[in-house]
Amino acid sequence: MATSTALYTDHYELTMVGAALKAGIADQPSVFETFSRRLPEGRRYGVFAGLGRLLDALESFRFGSEELTYLADRGLVDETALDWLADYAFTGSITAYAEGDLYFPGSPVLRVEGPFAASVLLETLVLSHLNYDSAIASAAARMVGAAQGRSLLEFGSRRAHEQAAVAAARAAYLAGFAATSNLEAGRRYGIPTSGTSAHAFTLAFADEREAFAAQVDALGASTTLLVDTYDIEQGIRHAVEAAGTGLGGIRIDSSDLVAEAHRARALLDSLGATGTRIVLSGDLDEYVIAELARTPADALGVGTRLVTGSGAPTGEFVFKLVATAPGGRLIDVAKGGGVKSTVGGTKRAWRAMDREGRAVEEVVAPADASPPGTARDLQRPVVTDGVVLARPSLSQVREDHAGFMAELPPQAHALDPGPPALPTRRILEAP
């Protein structure tokens, strides 16, 4: 068995389990839903991501001897709960949106059905995977749109927790990034990796010419040389001198990138290096990327702003009980409390489409409702009776995401703040 994920959770999940066992409601049939009350301010859509990682973590969500000893030594749960946890395996069902699909306020992106204790225990596991990955994928999708076809490279490993860096690389690739600098992400998920050198490599030599010659000798003329350690124009001349007109690429990581991209292209062409690619990096976000899309840049490297969600570091998801069966018959339940209130009952969701296949609205209705005309069913089973069903590859999720993005109306792709790109029609009554 893989390393246990059982303690990647919050203390109160286990105290709820202990109390539920003592009260006799642990096996009570229940339904939990994950949804976002709102999108981050000004965002027009969210990208649902992290489902594949969540399913991997669910299969390792077991309490082995080390986990049980930790809980017992600290008196976090009683003997009854320890015995229950020792035999724990989720045997319920999970229904979810396709990974890479879009979500809007109120979209029921994931539903967990099973015994109360076994299901409530999954709250932190679900939210920690979906919130981070969806935040990164949502930011990445905006950047991909702003890039207008230019390749985007994920460079964020040095700006994130080491495990978050791998998750971020996966989410970015899912949303359309071309490659990552993170080797673990490449090994684990098959994402293309890229990278050549940092300024330290150039500074380690007596001069720039010597550094470039060494890199070309090691990696070949197709390499990308970092030309802004000293003077950019001189760096470009030294790069072409070292590799010849077949130089693969140059990278500029500082200065006025818009101006430097134009100057670099003109200089490269004048030197005969007409096929040499220009890669730009350095604190890029979707707004800067949109400006650089009007330059002769070929590829853009993005780090800090990507792995922090470009100002929106969470998908805004919550995990709430919507139905339970205290008397043996499932009834709807909901939380009051103003902005944190919920709508009870199991939901179904569709995306209504026009005749051209363009999405026009999100429809959320009770589980027994019928599809509203021409609509795409958004939910599909991913776990049945505790068994994870066949899951798509990351490359398939990436392809699916591109198709989902293509369904959106044109205004969805605007970077300026605005309302959700699709209205959500709720055929429900709030409590």
- 333 Cβ contact list (under 8 Å, min separation 6): 321, 322, 323, 324, 344
Backbone angles phi, psi at 176, to 5 degrees: 120, 0
Strand-pair category, 151-154 with 299-302? parallel
**What CA–CA distances, in Å, run from 292 to 59, 87, 103, 287, 346?**
43, 55, 28, 9, 46
The number of CA neighbours under 13 Å toward the Cβ of 123 is 17
Residue 327 pLDDT: 84
What is the spatial distance between Cα 298 and Cα 107, in angstroms, rounded to a whole number?
A: 37
Per-10-residue mean pLDDT of the chain, 431 residues long, equals 88 97 97 96 96 97 97 96 98 98 97 98 98 98 97 97 97 98 98 96 98 98 98 98 98 96 98 98 97 97 97 97 93 88 94 94 94 91 96 96 97 96 83 38
- 202 Cβ contact list (under 8 Å, min separation 6): 208, 211, 212, 226, 229
Domains along the chain?
25-121+315-426 (3.20.140.10), 137-311 (3.20.20.70)
Assign residue 323 a region (left: φ > 0; alpha: ψ between -120 and 50; beta: otherwise): beta
Asked if 114 and 88 touch (Cβ cutoff 8 Å), the reply is: no
Instruction: Provide the b/e sequence for 314-344 (b: ≥16 CB within 10 Å).
Output: ebbbebbbbbbeeeeebebbbeeeeeeebbb
- At 377, is the secondary structure helix, strand, or coil? strand
What is the spatial distance between Cα 86 and Cα 385, in angstroms, rounded to a whole number?
A: 19
| Closest CA relative to residue 48, chosen from 174, 211, 213, 226 | 174
As a whole number of angstroms, the longest Cα–Cα distance in the chain is 81
- At 16, is the secondary structure helix, strand, or coil? helix
